[in-house]
């Protein structure tokens, strides 16, 4: 079985593009070689953003890295590469199956293919995407789900969303959840965490949000909820994440609510520091409107941190019974959820234990194993 994976969105450059789908691709590549047989091969078609010698040295040596000379960091060039160069290269290499890990597969490859759909936010919130990007994603995601032999979705919710919105036969959809990297473990009480607190001048208690700054993450709703907390519960709020798009209103809201002294925008955090951010926090608040999966929820739980998150889309599925679920449209409800966590040490301790148990169900080994099983099923090699 010769697998070709489109890795143009794999990035080791700091910034919001290293989050989300890049981390999905990275972890698939880290754990997939162990799930393949000795007669199998995995080739990755990657671009300049992934060409980091130090990082690449940490991957299994069996991976065949294929570097494109095209400047695929530019979106139009990447689109052309995916649809023109990738099929040609796959045929030349006699690839058996192409995996498009981010919504798109080559439409004329002549090879069996699998596509992963992470979410359909561009359909749910079309006004939050530039018109050309929205049209491209809508047309090409729809075409890719029809072309692909199998559609992988990262949650049951996203599977239902794809079936309904894109008219895909549910029998062609397989939900393979994301995982939590093994580095996300509780660090409370460690010397490493003590040094991290000192370096970043962190208080003993604070609330944490982790995610790209963009409208659907509902940071404005979080800020309004935070402003409604009782003064004795209003510990600092740290917002960790890179600036994505349409984020200016978030900074304006902080000023309007007069909470500038209480809110810290810590910016993008490298993946290796995220377990420390989570472990240092008193609670993680993630009131997103729409998530295909919602990885920060599980990462926080794996680090032993209580979580308050939304009661919609994939988030209840991922959080299970271990989080407090709130209505993201209601700042009062979000504030009540936060207050419930902050006011009770006993409740926080219960949530810590429940959260680590819930997160243990989601590993990247499982993601890789179930993804490879889809490949074999498509190729009749099970």
Residue 357's φ and ψ, nearest 5 degrees, are: -65, -45
How far is residue 273's CA from residue 275's CA, in Å, rounded to a whole number? 6
Whole-number pLDDT of residue 314: 98
Residue 334 token pair: 């979000």
End-to-end CA distance of the chain: 11
Mean pLDDT per 10-residue section of the chain, whose length is 382 residues:
96 66 94 96 95 93 95 92 94 96 94 97 90 93 97 98 97 97 94 96 97 93 97 95 89 96 93 95 98 96 98 97 98 98 96 97 97 97 68
How far is residue 306's CA from residue 353's CA, in Å, rounded to a whole number? 9
Distance of CA 288 to the CA centre of its chain: 13
Whole-number pLDDT of residue 89: 93
Whole-number pLDDT of residue 244: 82
Whole-number pLDDT of residue 382: 58
Residue 273 token pair: 């520091």
Whole-number pLDDT of residue 16: 43
Whole-number pLDDT of residue 15: 54
Q: Which domains does the chain have, with CATH numbers?
A: 2-179+363-379 (3.40.50.2000), 191-359 (3.40.50.2000)
How far is residue 284's CA from residue 209's CA, in Å, rounded to a whole number? 6
DSSP one-letter code for 129:
S
How far is residue 220's CA from residue 51's CA, in Å, rounded to a whole number? 36
């Amino acid at each position: 079985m010769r697998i070709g994976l489109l890795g143009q969105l794999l990035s080791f450059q700091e910034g919001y593009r290293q989050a989300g789908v890049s981390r999905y691709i990275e972890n698939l590549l880290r754990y997939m070689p162990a799930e393949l047989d000795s007669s199998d091969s995995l080739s990755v078609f990657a671009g300049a953003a992934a060409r980091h010698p130090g990082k690449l040295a940490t991957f299994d040596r069996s991976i065949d890295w294929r570097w494109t000379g095209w400047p695929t960091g530019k979106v139009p060039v990447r689109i052309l590469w995916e649809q023109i160069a990738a099929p040609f290269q796959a045929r030349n290499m006699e690839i058996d199956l192409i995996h498009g890990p981010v919504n798109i597969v080559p439409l004329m490859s002549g090879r069996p293919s699998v596509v992963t759909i992470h979410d359909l936010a561009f359909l749910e919130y079309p006004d939050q995407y530039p018109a050309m990007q929205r049209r491209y994603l809508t047309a090409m995601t729809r075409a890719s789900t029809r072309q692909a032999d199998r559609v992988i979705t990262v949650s049951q919710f996203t599977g239902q969303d794809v079936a309904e919105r894109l008219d895909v036969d549910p029998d062609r959809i397989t939900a393979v959840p994301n995982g939590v990297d093994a580095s996300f473990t509780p660090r409370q009480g460690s010397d490493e965490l003590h040094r991290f607190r000192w370096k970043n001048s962190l208080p003993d208690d604070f609330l944490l949000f982790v995610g790209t700054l963009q409208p659907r993450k509902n940071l404005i709703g979080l800020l309004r909820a935070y402003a409604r907390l009782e003064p004795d519960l209003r510990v600092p709020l740290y917002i960790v994440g890179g600036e994505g798009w349409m984020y200016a209103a978030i900074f304006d809201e902080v000023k309007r609510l007069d909470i500038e002294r209480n809110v810290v925008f810590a910016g993008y955090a490298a993946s290796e520091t995220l377990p420390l951010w989570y472990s240092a926090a008193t609670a993680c608040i993630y009131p997103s409107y729409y998530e295909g999966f919602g990885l920060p929820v599980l990462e926080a739980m794996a680090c032993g941190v209580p979580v308050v998150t939304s009661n919609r889309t994939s988030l209840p599925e991922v959080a299970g019974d271990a989080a407090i679920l709130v209505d993201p449209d209601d700042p009062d409800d979000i504030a009540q959820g936060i207050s419930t966590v902050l006011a009770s040490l006993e409740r926080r301790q219960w949530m810590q234990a429940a959260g680590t148990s819930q997160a243990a169900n989601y590993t990247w080994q499982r993601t890789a194993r179930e993804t490879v099983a889809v490949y074999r099923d498509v190729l009749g090699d099970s």
